[in-house]
Amino acid sequence: MEFSDYQKQSRVTAIYPDAGDNFIYPTLGLVGEAGEFAEKIKKLMRDSQVTKPSQVNDTVKQEVLKELGDVLWYTAQLASEFDVSLEDVAQNNIQKLQDRMKRDQLHGSGDNR
């Protein structure tokens, strides 16, 4: 599936207050879903001493992928709220990372390194 197809299809399911002019709701959803993803990973470490993806069974992997899908959904809604395509988000991110790599600045902190 292409990002553009996903963004269009997921937008049909974007039912929240003032959809189309509300970045707060999808932002809160994004951080909530990212937290749920992190919780699943934390529990893998705590309960099963799993620290590598290769140690995750298919059932658990499917549960983790569901949470990643929810993160993607909220990311797509935020892109739509700002009237940008997921392709543009992805391309801009790759360009930023390649520039940092070229300048040996992948490590460290700060948005504009």
Q: Using an 8 Å Cβ cutoff, are 21 and 81 in contact?
A: yes
Look at phi and psi of residue 16 and say left if phi exceeds 0, alpha if psi is from -120 to 50, else beta. beta
95-111 mean pLDDT: 86
CATH of 3-85, one of 2.40.30.10, 3.10.20.30, 1.10.287.1080, 3.40.50.300: 1.10.287.1080
113 DSSP assignment: -
pLDDT of residue 107: 81
User: Closest Cα to residue 71, out of 31, 21, 24?
Assistant: 31
5-32 mean pLDDT: 98
Q: pLDDT band for position 109 (50/70/90)?
A: confident
Rounded to whole angstroms, the Cα distance separating 13 from 32 reads: 18
